[in-house]
Amino acid sequence: MDHMFIEHDRCLKAVYEEYQKQAQGLCAPSCNDIHYETQFLTAPWPVLEQTLPFYALNIKNKSYADMFGIYGEILTEQEVNGSTVARKMLLKQDIIQRNFARIQIKLDFSKIYIYKDVPTFTFTSFVSSLGGLLNLYSGISCVVFIEIIDLFYNILAKYLSVETKQKCKESYGEGNKRKSGGEGIFKSQTQFVPYTLK
């Protein structure tokens, strides 16, 4: 069972290493980051008094127990001759300490730092900066800008009005020429018809 767990862990590690580069290319970095203050403390483990109980609980009768057979002998010695002799034998052994480790993760600090990526120059900031620059260098405010737009609108309306009048003059003038033979509706000759009183 333990051998299967080790093989499964190796397989996961191999798959992770194989697809790590592809994942880095496909996955964009996160916009949020949570940071904790960390502190590392190390100490020999298990301590001398816990070595034999650790062996009995986690190593004895396992597939890898042959590598730690000396502790089985020490455990038997303890049961036969007492803990004094067993302690002397344990002082000469550190196989368990060199092959096992215990990791404890504790949240000892209440401070949690959350970092977020936010745009430093938003659209609102852009508009306000643009207005400030225009006001500074050109003396242009929002009211003046609206008045400029109104001025262009009036000029365009005046131009279109003149064009329309000119086209009307041309079209009415040509029609009058065809009917009366004069020079147009605006320069037509007036004909007086005499009227006799009876």
- Rounded alpha-carbon distances, angstroms, from residue 75 to 19, 41, 47, 49, 190: 47, 30, 16, 12, 141
Q: Residue 26 has what pLDDT? A: 64
Rounded mean pLDDT of the chain?
A: 76
Residues 6+ apart with CB under 8 A from 74: 52, 86, 89, 90, 93
pLDDT in tens, 3-25: 556 777 778 777 777 777 666 66
For residue range 99-143, list pLDDT tens digits in order. 888 888 777 666 777 777 777 888 888 888 887 887 777 766 677
Strand partners of residue 114:
34
DSSP state of 122: -
Instruction: Please compute the mean of the pLDDT values over residues 185-192 and round it to a whole number.
Output: 48
Give the pLDDT confidence score for residue 164 in this predicted structure.
Answer: 76
Distance CA 3, CA 95 (A): 20
Q: Which of 1-10, 17-26, 53-62, 173-182 has the lowest mean pLDDT?
A: 173-182
Percent of the chain with pLDDT over 70: 73
> What pLDDT score does 143 carry?
76
Instruction: Flag whether pLDDT at 172 surpasses 70.
Output: no
- Domain residue spans in the chain? 30-118, 123-180
pTM, whole model, 2 decimals?
A: 0.38
Which has more confidence, 55 or 142?
55
Strand partners, 36: 112
**pLDDT one-digit tens code per residue, 139-170:** 666 777 788 899 999 999 888 887 777 777 77
